Structure 1
Amino acid sequence: MNTLKQKTLIKPLLASSLSVGLALATGAEAANLADTEVKFSGYIKVDAMYSDYSNGEGVGPGRDIYVPSLVQTGATDDGLGGRFDAHAKQSRFRFTTNTPVDGEDVITGVFEFDFLLTSGGDERVSNSYTPRMRHAYLKYNNWLIGQTWSTIMDLGALVESVDFIGTTDGVAFTRQPQIRYSNNGFEVALENPETTVGTTTTAQISTDDNSVPDLIGTYTMKASWGHVKVGGILRQLAYETQGEDYSDTGIALSLSSRINLSNGDDIRIQVASGSGLGRYVGVNAANGAFLDDEGNFDAIDATAVTVAYRHLWSESARTNLIFSSLDVDTVEGMVGSRTHDVYSTRINYIYNITKPLSVGLEYTYAKRETVDGFDGDMSRVQAMAKYAF
């Protein structure tokens, strides 16, 4: 369905529904959406994968997407063999509204949801899964307020993969509520904080004890050859337990770039390193801080790296070669199962049958080592079909 038809069908329906709802609920004059443009977009994506684990059979969301911290480890290969999984949970729907105000200004609203990482489904009969909110924000002039990608992320340097993220180990990746100001390539934001802490007896604690938001600043320089983005995070790491308050400061820097080559290929690089990075990288594979038995509370150092090369075979076909890694500083007393380092490599082939319809095949190898010195690996072959609208 093209955009014109979407507007023709959705806009009157939405306006009518909202007007009736408001009138019934409040008795007030019906809302006038005549000047608001409403767009509906998203995609339907179906994934099928065969995964071979050296230890265990894969757990939780690691069966649906690649989650570095869920690669199981052990002293020996248990030889359980491979597992097959298929799902359509990544399918997503996005509503975007644009309302003209004060002459040339526009207020933009975005709401998006999918079905990954949620409960409510089973594979016995219905395969029904609960929707989850991904984005919910508004933009007005230079301001963004609401939940969306963290400002530290570089969306222009993300790599195309069959897996949900693809560069999961070595890329900053998080969505959260924030207030952001943007101007001429500069962005500064206050974002919702959350400290993850490890102790000598607990692998990870989400504290929710922060008293100030995370401060993030970035600058993006664009050129004919591509772009480069530099950024920094300044955050409070806080934990209150048994009447004691612990606090430390996390400081990290990031550098990312997409370099366009003359033949249409490109190179994508992302690096983030510093103290207290924690949940910002590796999809929560590392903690932000560690509390030992003597009461020492310190930020944990971590470094995330991604390098990828995309080759265009034709206007419709491309291949991505991807390496992604996360190295987390080891502190004496850490729970042995915590991640010390993890990496993944992958190669894919993605082909557009028509512009909105694509298929892809990807091979992934991932290996994880824990603080106690045990390691484990995963090999995965994944196929997908995707219809974007």
Structure 2
Amino acid sequence: MNRQTHTARKRLSLALVIALAAPGLALAQDASPQSMEARIAQLEQLVQGLKSELEAQKAAMAAQPPAPAPLPAGTQPIQASTISPAANPGTKFSYGGFIKLDAMVTDTSDGEIADGSAGRLFYLPSATPVGGADEDSADLDMHAQFSRFWFSADTEVNGKKVKGYIEADLFGNANGNEQSTNTYGLTIRHAYVSWDKWLAGQTWSNFQDVAALPDAVDFVGPTEGTIFVRQAQLRYTNGPWSVSLENPETTVSPFLAGARISSDDNSVPDATLRYLHKADWGHFTVAGLARQLRYETATTSESDTGFAISVSGKWNLGANDDLRYMVSTGSGIGRYLGFGLGSDAMQEADGSLDALDGYGYFVAWRHAFNPKLRGNLFYSAASFDNDIGLTGGGVTKSASSLHANLIYSPLPKIDIGAELIYGDREIESGLDGDLRRLHLHVKYNF
């Protein structure tokens, strides 16, 4: 019992005793009716005041949150104070992620993927060698760089939901080597705050549909046909509609020369608009992208405009099957499609820019054999309309891949998976190369 409530009850009991004894005391001291009535009125007033005080204390206690359950005997709380004194009152904190071991055996027909490159860690179509010598041997790579953790803080302010979210993995630059430490830097994936219908920070592009991605052992899976970008943005969502202004960047194939240029000369953010429909059968979404393509040198400043559209979704075929798909096309779509498989623009002889047309797609079928075993089969492809008079013959013309996997969950939150991958890349000169890979993983979600 609350100490204040106990004290108030004692005072009330004492007042009642006095009230009952008052007539006798009054008769012993002053037998006049007027004096007795005055004393009784005073005591009644005192009793009413104490009763009001007790009811107020009861109401205050009822409004307080329930006390936490007592800890088991012999245990101590982790800490005596709140986890974050500076947070908004009532903030709820959560933490999660997964630990993942990836192991890949890779064989390529036209040369070896460079050691330490991203293509040795996951399927990256642009890394498939073309025109090289077949080494007639396979490479084995193992790593845990895609292990991930996230932290979230959620509360309500003035009746509006507020969320802070940060997520990282270990896919950063190498700080050690494979000879001894295999040390890698921390990489920020997401870092944003949302309030009601607004979001500000870094997360998936509003042009991307993460919910349509298949259940893959590989980091992405159908990479060629996937819109895949995380970047800083300001987003507004109202019902099924969302619009965003996102960080711009332009990639350019230089005029008949050298490596691709990555330009940070944009002065206008990329703009997206999305419509999303959800139902029991799955979801469907269509998104549009409009962007400025720009590249400056010491003597020139050239720009063009890019537009693209993406349609994607998931269709539940029953309790154990679903189809997932994505189709995207447009001009200046290169940076958003297939991890930058193609450029955004081509540079002409006078330095001006010509937006590059391209398209990509994937389709995936998922089947659950039982609660512990599931499998996925998916195909992905992309193609670009390069003008070889501007780009030369060394740029990617097309790429495609076929994937088949089985994922077994012997225990809750533990996945053991195997995926067979066949990929092909062709450049504008007509040369092509293919990749064959067996990708295994062990993944524990927490």
Fold conserved between structures, TM > 0.5: yes
Contact 1:68 1:285 (8 Å CA) reproduced = yes
Number of equivalences: 368
Looking at structure 1, the residues matched to 239 and 88 of structure 2 have their Cα atoms a distance apart, in angstroms, of 32
Runs of 4+ aligned structure 1 residues displaced above 3 Å come to: 9-16
1:284 CA drift (Å): 1.1
1:375 CA drift (Å): 0.6
What does 1:194-205 align with in structure 2 at a 5 Å threshold?
194-199=249-254, 200-205=256-261
Q: 1:110–1:32: structure 2 CA closer, same or farther, 3 Å change rule? A: closer
> Does structure 1 residue 126 correspond to structure 2 residue 181?
yes
> Does structure 1 residue 252 correspond to structure 2 residue 308?
yes
> Does structure 1 residue 356 correspond to structure 2 residue 413?
yes
Looking at structure 2, the residues matched to 10 and 250 of structure 1 have their Cα atoms a distance apart, in angstroms, of 57
1:14 CA drift (Å): 10
1:337 CA drift (Å): 2.6
What does 1:203-282 align with in structure 2 at a 5 Å threshold?
203-282=259-338
1:33 CA drift (Å): 5.8
1:335 CA drift (Å): 4.0
Match of 1:188 in 2: 243
1:306 CA drift (Å): 0.6
Contact 1:57 1:81 (8 Å CA) reproduced = no
Match of 1:318 among 359, 369, 374: 374
Instruction: Give the AA of the match of 1:157.
Output: A
Which of these two proteins has the greater Rg computed from alpha carbons? 2
> Does structure 1 residue 339 correspond to structure 2 residue 396?
yes
Contact 1:55 1:80 (8 Å CA) reproduced = no
Q: 1:32–1:66: structure 2 CA closer, same or farther, 3 Å change rule? A: closer
Contact 1:217 1:231 (8 Å CA) reproduced = yes
Q: 1:194–1:12: structure 2 CA closer, same or farther, 3 Å change rule? A: farther
Match of 1:333, SS?
A: helix
1:10 CA drift (Å): 12
Match of 2:209 among 142, 149, 154: 154
Question: Mind listing any 5+ residue stretches in structure 1 that lack a counterpart?
Answer: 20-30
Say which structure is richer in helix.
2
Match of 1:309 in 2: 365
1:292 CA drift (Å): 1.8
TM-score by length of 1: 0.91
Looking at structure 2, the residues matched to 167 and 272 of structure 1 have their Cα atoms a distance apart, in angstroms, of 13
Match of 1:107 among 150, 162, 165: 162
Q: 1:205–1:358: structure 2 CA closer, same or farther, 3 Å change rule? A: same
1:355 CA drift (Å): 1.8
Match of 1:129, SS?
A: coil
Q: 1:367–1:14: structure 2 CA closer, same or farther, 3 Å change rule? A: farther
Instruction: Give the AA of the match of 2:357.
Output: D
Looking at structure 1, the residues matched to 305 and 146 of structure 2 have their Cα atoms a distance apart, in angstroms, of 35
Q: Percent of aligned positions with the same letter in both sequences?
A: 40
Match of 2:13 in 1: none
Looking at structure 2, the residues matched to 14 and 171 of structure 1 have their Cα atoms a distance apart, in angstroms, of 46
Match of 1:72 in 2: 129
1:263 CA drift (Å): 4.3
Q: 1:351–1:280: structure 2 CA closer, same or farther, 3 Å change rule? A: same
Contact 1:334 1:371 (8 Å CA) reproduced = no
Instruction: Tell which has more relative contact order, 1 or 2 (C-alpha 8 A, sep 6+).
Output: 1
Instruction: Give the AA of the match of 1:383.
Output: L
Looking at structure 1, the residues matched to 296 and 79 of structure 2 have their Cα atoms a distance apart, in angstroms, of 52
Question: Mind listing any 5+ residue stretches in structure 2 that lack a counterpart?
Answer: 1-68, 70-75
- What are the superposed Cα offsets for residues 85-133 of structure 1, whole Å, 9 maximum, x if unpaired? 000000001001112212x322101000001253323111111110110
Bigger shift: residues 142-151 or 120-129: 120-129
Contact 1:57 1:82 (8 Å CA) reproduced = no
Bigger shift: residues 263-272 or 299-308: 263-272
Contact 1:11 1:38 (8 Å CA) reproduced = no
> Does structure 1 residue 383 correspond to structure 2 residue 440?
yes
Looking at structure 2, the residues matched to 10 and 158 of structure 1 have their Cα atoms a distance apart, in angstroms, of 42
Looking at structure 2, the residues matched to 314 and 13 of structure 1 have their Cα atoms a distance apart, in angstroms, of 46
Looking at structure 1, the residues matched to 78 and 188 of structure 2 have their Cα atoms a distance apart, in angstroms, of 22
1:34 CA drift (Å): 5.2
Match of 1:167 in 2: 222
Looking at structure 2, the residues matched to 346 and 284 of structure 1 have their Cα atoms a distance apart, in angstroms, of 20
Looking at structure 1, the residues matched to 251 and 107 of structure 2 have their Cα atoms a distance apart, in angstroms, of 30
Contact 1:11 1:37 (8 Å CA) reproduced = no
TM-score by length of 2: 0.79
